[in-house]
Chain A
Amino acid sequence: MNLMEHLPALIIAIPLFAAFLTPIIDRFSKKGRDAFVFIFMALTLILVVLLAKDVFDSKVPITYVMGASDPHQTIPTQSAVPIRIILEIDAMSIFMVIISILISFIGLIYSFSHIKEGGGKFYTLFLLMLVGMIGMELTGDLFNLFVFLEILSISSAALIAFEIKRETSFEAAIKYIVISSIAALFVLFAVGLFYGEYNLLNIAAIANAMKFTRIDKIALILLFSAFVMKAGTAPMHMWLPDAYGEAPGAVSMVLIATTQASLYALLRVCFTLYNESLPIIMPATLILLGLASIFIGVTMALVQNDIKRLIAYAAVAEVGYIVLAIGVGLYGFLKSGEIEGYGIKALQGGIFHIFNDVLDVGLMFLVAGGVIYMTKERNMNKLGGLAHSMKYSSILFLIGLAAVAGLPPLNGFASKLMIYESIYKVSPILSIVAILASILMLSIFVKIFQSIFTGPKVIEANEVPKCMLAGMIVIAGLIIFFGLFPEMIVKNLVEPAVNALLNYGEYISAVTGV
């Protein structure tokens, strides 16, 4: 058997297998459990890199049919339409999978230092969360997308409530699971509508048959609102600061990657499923949602006292940038002419910013998690002077805040510049709001830095444990690398992803053959 042929299935199966073995190994040895999770996560990472190489080498999307005797035969011999679950991987999906696995891996290393009690449960849920994310990004089947969305929601809700000694964590978790299950039911209803109309479940096959009738419009609204809700954009962002604020340590960072899996699903729905038949009101809605998220995120961050909640509101604003850029990109995609080039540029900026957002805000969450772990205090007014004892953390926080605020030469600047210089073509107001929000963000983070790290010593604390430091340093290294060589990342990762989104015909023909 050629294992290389089964890479897409293995990438989902290996973490799933490891997830259910972890509690058993946990019974015998804690050290063994850590090593086991680490090895299997590293194995998945290697497989993802191998798959990425395959995807970038072959110009067409890779398909993998689950449970078929020949995994490449998308349409069974006796049928006219695809029946089995098909995994379909193009440059966009592999871009998202790389983000998910990398962030989870760093989060895992970070977690080794502070997850002591109940570690077996923690790592099981952590691996399941990874399975949910990767599954959503690899699958080419709408119902399968729903299943992975639910796996993701259930495991992340349990992880948000993981610190059971903090009673408020339950409040955040119940908000998260209620919002997630409503969103998932919307998706399921839309799946039912598509099945009733076309007798199909495969995304590519539905896109091929798409007639954009009234039923499709209802399904579009359901899918759109579900994924926007899960991505945490403005009107439905209330669950996000609670969930990010209450989640333990590195989980906050991985949760950013999970909201981006929903953004990926939104991109798939807009660019592949509906493609040209999308009404022009959709990009307009996305632009408005993006602006609202930026505005609400920045203004609410100003008044927070809890460090993690403050960073979470900044995360809302960062998602706003991505949604704004995607909206402009979609506008350029639907309208032809001069705007098209700007749309592509905005889309590149937005997709590059997906990676930068999770690194920048993730680093802030990691440092904040370290500060909370060492001092047991999350109120900014009671913290101060930590730079005396936590030198490395304060330097890393400085890197993170400069990157979030979009200062050169860090990665946040590289992608935000791409967004600024393309969205003004739709309306100059968009650029103005985006730049102003970025400046405000800088002032907010300088304020936190000043109140936590500088000044006289208020609290006795030591430097964070080595594993935490290792995770933070890896992310800081990536931030600096992306900031110094943005061209390299854009050319090798982002441009293929954007081209894969825009050439939706290839995604469709890889399954249907037309």
Chain B
Amino acid sequence: MIYNLPFMTVIALIAIGMYAILFRRNLIKIAIGITIVESGVNLFLITLGYRKGGIAPIFTNLPPGTTPEEIPGKMVLPVPQALTLTSIVIGVAVLALILSLAIQIYRNYGTLNAEKVRRLKE
């Protein structure tokens, strides 16, 4: 049960983020919603990397008494961590772009309300 807690947090974060994206009208809040969904997905990736009894893949840092034969089954493949780092970096870029566009929209339209930012519809 306790091991499922991270997965429940993931679901909760994604649900909160999607709620903000779908039902909030403020552009900044939509940006925050996207960030929350992204944190949920990143947490999911990190949680997948957990292996019970696994050790970090650093050879100089092995616990004393580990024989070379035991290593392959114990060391954790650091792929999910690498994926998460990449996705965090991409997330920062996307967030910066959304916020800079929101600033420009505020300058031009005088509002951040997505329902009023619709000059293209006419």
Which A residues contact B (CB, under 8 angstroms)? 83, 143, 146-147, 150, 153-154, 157-158, 161, 164, 167-168, 170-174, 177-178, 181-182, 184-185, 188-189, 191-192, 195-196, 199, 201, 242, 245-246
Contacts and interface: CB of A to CB of B under 8 A. Distances in A.
Nearest to B80: A195
A171 B41 contact: no
Q: Which of B34, B37, B101, B119 has the most CB of A within 10 A?
A: B101
A147 B90 CA distance: 8
Contacts of B21: 178, 182
Contacts of A172: 120
B104 A164 contact: yes
B80 to A, nearest CB: 7
A167 B108 CA distance: 6
Contacts of A192: 41, 44-45, 48, 80, 83
B15 interface: no
A189 B119 CA distance: 34
Nearest to B44: A192
Q: Summarize B's interface: helix, strand, loop or mixed.
A: helix
A366 B56 CA distance: 55
B58 interface: no
A116 to B, nearest CB: 21
A177 B101 contact: yes
22 contacts: A143-B83, A147-B86, A147-B90, A150-B90, A154-B97, A167-B108, A167-B109, A170-B108, A173-B101, A174-B101, A174-B102, A178-B34, A181-B94, A182-B34, A182-B37, A184-B90, A189-B44, A191-B83, A192-B45, A196-B48, A201-B79, A246-B120
A174 B105 contact: yes
A199 B49 CA distance: 10
B2 interface: no
A197 to B, nearest CB: 9
Contacts of B87: 146, 188
A177 B120 contact: no
A459 B92 CA distance: 47
A168 B120 contact: yes
B85 to A, nearest CB: 12
Given A154-B93, A171-B118, A188-B41, A178 B86 contact: no
Contacts, number: 89
B41 A189 contact: yes
Q: Summarize A's interface: helix, strand, loop or mixed.
A: helix
A400 B42 CA distance: 46
Contacts of A154: 93-94, 97
A164 B101 CA distance: 11
Given A147-B86, A170-B104, A182-B21, A158 B44 contact: no
Contacts of B98: 174, 177-178, 181
B97 A157 contact: yes
B102 A171 contact: no
B18 to A, nearest CB: 8
A83 B57 CA distance: 15
B79 A171 contact: no
A174 B102 CA distance: 7
A113 to B, nearest CB: 26
A386 B37 CA distance: 50
Contact of A177 (B41, B83, B94): B94
Nearest to B105: A170
Q: Which of A173, A181, A196 has the most CB of B within 10 A?
A: A181
B32 interface: no
Given A174-B101, A185-B37, A168 B94 contact: no
Contacts of A195: 45, 48, 79-80, 83
Interface in B94-113: 94, 97-98, 101-102, 104-105, 108-109
Contacts of A170: 101, 104-105, 108
